[in-house]
Structure 1
């Protein structure tokens, strides 16, 4: 799966599962502020990402995540490490 496909799939998940307005999703936007998710929503997000991309995410993975691009990068890194 190429980068564009990863980004598109993540965005689709956010729109479909979390009712996020697609217009606010951009690589440089703040993930936390834009999504306004509570801690349970983050757990759901991790589970959905793991099941859709076949990766494992740990709490430590999110320490440096500020923007959507950071989140995309983490998912990509886990996918690359898996292969």
Structure 2
């Protein structure tokens, strides 16, 4: 069972690695595109990095539903449950 706080921390690290956004800025209510200025190419990289990090698959039709950091956390937690 994945822990939300740990998943958030890992996603924050991934977002920081790919976009340079400070980890402290990556919070569950933040929108990847609107709040964190993640472009579509960077989002693909973030999805891929999450798949690698958490050992899960995020299908394309699901990845476009990941609008906020919280959406991504919930997807990872559910996928690992």
- Quick check: which has more Rg, 1 or 2? 1
Gapped regions of structure 2 (runs ≥ 5): none
Partner of 2:41: 40
Over the aligned positions, Cα root-mean-square deviation in angstroms equals: 1.8
More helix as a share of residues: 1
* CA-to-aligned-CA distance 1:18-52 (integer Å, 9 cap, x gap): 21123432211222212222222121111111110
TM-score by length of 1: 0.78
Distance 1:55 1:42 in 2: 16
Instruction: Name the TM-score, length of structure 2 as normaliser.
Output: 0.79
Higher RCO (CA-CA < 8 Å; seq separation 6+): 2
Give unmatched runs, 5+ long, in structure 1. none
